[in-house]
Amino acid sequence: MRIAPCLLGFLALSAAGVAQTPAKRLTPDQMRQMMEDREYWRQQRDRYQDIDTRAWILTPKRRDEPLRDLNISDDEIREVEAIARKYLPRAMVNISPVVADCPCEEGPTCTAQVFVVAQTREMTRGLQLSRMNDRWGVGVVQQWYLRRAALVPSNTGNPFLDDYLNDKALYELYEEFPVCAAGKLVPAKQTAAATRAEGKK
């Protein structure tokens, strides 16, 4: 069965549609790489499903237990508000109670978490902060969710290429999701393409 002809195509206008670029054929090497990547992703389907399930469980949200013995201090409030201003709309900010535990994915230095909500008339947005090494910051899982929210669908004009680029962006994020083993954080893997190439050795 010949599949190469259906993979050939031209790249259309850029996603922004601002300027036209010369059409470019997908080379046989590019198509071969795309097919190899898709086969790798197929082989990793169950692992990616597990990662997606765990990511869903860890979706940044307000938690009210277990509470930390000492709730948030005035200095911590100022620190949290300063961080929130970098990520959330300039609006009324609500800070949840401080909870005293962190999921393993946040790493061994995480001792507490809060959820900050900024609300305007048009929108409500939240941000989960983790206390690591006695400082508040955007935690590992929240950073991953920010990157996922920033994904933009590809629009090259080539449906096959668009599907590939969208899948590639998502699966590379799955490869970067922090993973725990036996209660300990395992360093994130490299991108999907790099991991696939290493597996061929």
Query: Which tokens belong to 190?
Result: 């490299």
- Average pLDDT over the chain reads 82
Q: What is the bridge-based pairing of β-strands 135-138 and 92-95?
A: unpaired
Query: Which tokens belong to 174?
Result: 């799955």
Task: Report residue 182's pLDDT band, with 50, 70 and 90 as the boundaries.
Answer: low
- Please name the residue that has the structure tokens 């590939």: 164
Instruction: Please state which of the ranges 42-46, 65-69, 122-126 shows the lowest mean pLDDT.
Output: 122-126
Task: Determine the pLDDT at residue 53.
Answer: 96
CB distance 43 to 50 below 8 Å: no
The domain limits of the chain are 74-147
Q: Residue 4 CA to chain centroid, in angstroms?
A: 32
Task: Determine the pLDDT at residue 183.
Answer: 63
Task: Determine the pLDDT at residue 159.
Answer: 87
pLDDT at 87 over 80: yes
Helices (runs of H) and strands (runs of E) counted in the chain:
7, 6
Q: Residue 146 CA to chain centroid, in angstroms?
A: 6
Task: Report residue 142's pLDDT band, with 50, 70 and 90 as the boundaries.
Answer: very high
Instruction: Please state which of the ranges 77-86, 94-103, 120-129, 180-189 shows the lowest mean pLDDT.
Output: 180-189
Angstrom CA distances, 29 to 5, 25, 35, stand at 14, 11, 10
Task: Determine the pLDDT at residue 21.
Answer: 38
pLDDT tens, residue by residue, 55-72: 999 999 999 999 999 889
Task: Report residue 18's pLDDT band, with 50, 70 and 90 as the boundaries.
Answer: very low
- Please name the residue that has the structure tokens 């993973």: 179
